[in-house]
A = this chain, B = another copy of it.
Amino acid sequence: MEPSTIARLDHERHDRTGVPEVVFAAHKTLDQNLTLLRALHERAGFAMATRVPADQRAALAAALALAEIEPLSGTLRWGRLPRTGTRVGVVCAGTSDLPVAEEAAFTLDALGHDAVRATDVGVAGIHRLFDVLDALAACRAVIVVAGMEGALPSVVAGLVRAPVIAVPTSVGYGAAFDGLAALLGMLNACAPGIGVVNIDNGFGAAALAHKIACA
């Protein structure tokens, strides 16, 4: 399959915007994903895909020997960008939010940054957050991942100097409405200096942190 028959790859995107083009694999066939990843890697020595369907992971891993796949989120990277030495916090409210947090952390690592993780520090036991404030103080940006009421970014943004990137997750049930409650909570955070991304969009949060770190 020729990539040009299914997509117009935007090879200059990395130069233009600082973020390489990445394959959104969720609704594509194995052949399409393989074709696109190879075309990107051939040009740039680097390729990534997000949301690789579970039933394509083994085949992609077999076909692309040097690619790595993060298992919780299905993120794939083939190569890594040069290390920048920049630290970015990845704060996760609960264990159930880990797939989104891992998508962010794995992407940060692929783009050359060091992810500083803090997991299960939700607001129901707010003291757990204070234990990690020192580690977060050294970060260039802090990604905060939370579902349910999505309150954690407000608290974090009131405690750190770095810009906060808030990621609502679809964790919860009932009136969580698949992440809507967390999304609205984060958009209305009373602490200023928070940028919100789409529900479950760990990759987008990492891309924003990357732009903050590199622009």
| Residues of A that sit less than 8 Å from B by CB | 6-8, 10, 13, 16-19, 22, 24, 26-28, 32, 93-96, 98, 119-126, 128, 140-141, 148-151, 154-155, 157-165, 168, 170-201, 203-204, 207-208, 210-212, 214-215
Contact = CB atoms under 8 A, between A and B. Distances in A.
| Number of identical monomers bound together in the oligomeric complex | 8
B192 A174 contact: no
B195 A155 contact: no
A213 to B, nearest CB: 9
A124 B156 CA distance: 8
Most interface-central of A123, A176, A194 (chain B CB within 10 A):
A123
Contact of A157 (B8, B27, B124): B124
Contacts of A189: 124, 148-149, 151
B187 A175 contact: yes
A131 to B, nearest CB: 8
A17 B7 CA distance: 27
B16 A154 contact: no
16 contacts: A6-B120, A7-B95, A8-B125, A10-B124, A123-B151, A126-B126, A140-B215, A149-B184, A149-B190, A151-B155, A170-B174, A174-B200, A177-B184, A181-B188, A187-B197, A212-B212
A198 B214 CA distance: 25
Contacts of A124: 10, 13, 154-155, 157-158, 189-191
A156 to B, nearest CB: 10
Contacts of A197: 187, 194-196
Given A123-B154, A212-B212, A196 B187 contact: yes
A21 to B, nearest CB: 8
Contacts of A154: 123-124, 149, 151
A208 B141 CA distance: 11
Contacts of A94: 7, 24, 190
Given A194-B208, A195-B195, 7 more contacts: A17-B160, A124-B155, A124-B158, A148-B189, A163-B212, A168-B174, A170-B174
